[in-house]
Amino acid sequence: MPFPVEWKYIAETQRKLKTRFPLDYVVRMKRENGGAFSVEGEAWFLFPIFDTSNDKRIKRTCSDVCHETKEMFSFDVGFPTNAIAIANNGCGDVLFFLPDEEEPERLQDNVFCFRLRGGEIVDFESTFRELTENE
């Protein structure tokens, strides 16, 4: 079950990843640290932001954005080296953000998909908000 997360944990995650998340993503994660949504009938599960406020939240958020991004790099499957993983579909496919070309310290609003089978990268040509607003 999703639950809110304090801003300080989002800020800490951004610091660890040396980037800034898109505003719509931050708003969603602050309100519901995780959760699911559907894109064209396919379910996606958001990786949480690591929350150390109590033992229950530590357990629920330990497979966070930082951990899952690092895991994708360890598989040596062609996941983009500058990507930040934000969700999966339970079948190995991952949604991710890429740095903005004009402001590399910030992630762009568009969401991309890495298909594990074949290592294909799909540009949904949609922002995080557009993808998640039809829940």
Q: For the chain, how many helices (H) and strands (E)?
A: 5, 6
Domains defined for the chain, CATH in brackets = 7-132 (3.40.1580)
The reply to whether the predicted model has a pTM over 0.85 is yes
Alpha carbon distance 44, 93 (integer Å)? 9
Q: What are the beta bridge partners of residue 96?
A: 85, 112
Give the per-residue pLDDT at 25. Answer: 97
134 falls in which pLDDT band (50, 70, 90)? low
Residue-wise pLDDT tens digits, 77-132:
899 999 999 999 999 999 999 999 999 999 999 999 999 888 899 998 899 999 99
Residue type at 134? N
